[in-house]
Structure 1
Amino acid sequence: MTQEKILVVEDHPLNRELVVTILEIRGYTVLEAEDGLGLLERVKAERPALIIMDLQLPHIDGFALTRQLKADPETQDIPIMAASSFAKPEDQVRALEAGCAASLTKPLDCAVLLETVARLLHRA
């Protein structure tokens, strides 16, 4: 079992619970956030190995949060996976341009989620 720490940033409680449960069953340590307020400081303090970021969040969207994290030398090395209901190809491109290492569309396929998490953690 792995003890890698993953931060799930998702404002919808049921979506967050689903991702958290899937990851915990696989042995990951999971941190949760429902919005981006104070996220930069929290990421610096907690040092997750991976961030799964919803792109539609209250207060500040996941695109802006990703750009902030990638612009900061203390957090720029942490891979970020977008998980969003934005399904258009241009939305996927926007996520990658913001700094996401991968972008998955909701509803999430559990197998694809776990494969992507494993790939990003081993690359990091």
Structure 2
Amino acid sequence: MELRVLVVEDNDLNRKLFCDLLKAHGFAVQPVADGLAAIEEALAFEPHLIIMDIQLPNISGISLIESLKLDERLASVPVLAVTAYAGKGDEERIRAAGAHGYLSKPVSINGFMNAVNSLVDKRAAA
């Protein structure tokens, strides 16, 4: 079974990089540029993992994570926050919203894939 990853990222270059990396590692990928469309896309795509930028136009990634966790169909899907927010307390706030993983930008390829694989492995083991 091909594992599905929803990538919610408004920056075109970052979204393409994340999607290309995931595809190269055998994941099925659904990119989303608009955070407001993320929940609808997640419900249709049924991802095994959601990669979420925190600084999105129109809606904060933190609010979006909280909304995902309130939907019983999506609540169990792990979320990896990938963000430029790397200030004091940011990781704690993002994890408190429901993110299972946190990476600050810029990300390394190995760090990104290790975080993805860790979250997918945890879900498969659960």
Tell me the TM-score normalised to structure 2 length.
Answer: 0.93
Counting only pairs closer than 5 Å after superposition, residues 1-124 of structure 1 correspond to structure 2 as: 3-124=2-123
Following superposition, the deviation at residue 84 of structure 1 comes to 0.2
Superposed CA deviations along residues 11-63 of structure 1, whole A, max 9, x for unmatched, are 00001111111111111111100021232222112100000000000111110
Provide the C-alpha distance between the structure 1 equivalents of 2:121 and 2:36, rounded to a whole number of angstroms: 28
Provide the C-alpha distance between the structure 2 equivalents of 1:69 and 1:30, rounded to a whole number of angstroms: 18
3-state SS of paired residue (2:2):
coil
Provide the C-alpha distance between the structure 1 equivalents of 2:6 and 2:118, rounded to a whole number of angstroms: 16
Provide the C-alpha distance between the structure 1 equivalents of 2:107 and 2:75, rounded to a whole number of angstroms: 25
- Extract unaligned runs of 5+ from structure 2: none
RMSD after superposition: 1.0
Tell me the TM-score normalised to structure 1 length.
Answer: 0.95
Following superposition, the deviation at residue 111 of structure 1 comes to 0.4
Provide the C-alpha distance between the structure 2 equivalents of 1:32 and 1:38, rounded to a whole number of angstroms: 11
Provide the C-alpha distance between the structure 2 equivalents of 1:122 and 1:93, rounded to a whole number of angstroms: 23
- Extract unaligned runs of 5+ from structure 1: none
Provide the C-alpha distance between the structure 2 equivalents of 1:49 and 1:22, rounded to a whole number of angstroms: 16
Question: May I ask how many residue pairs the two structures share in their alignment?
Answer: 123
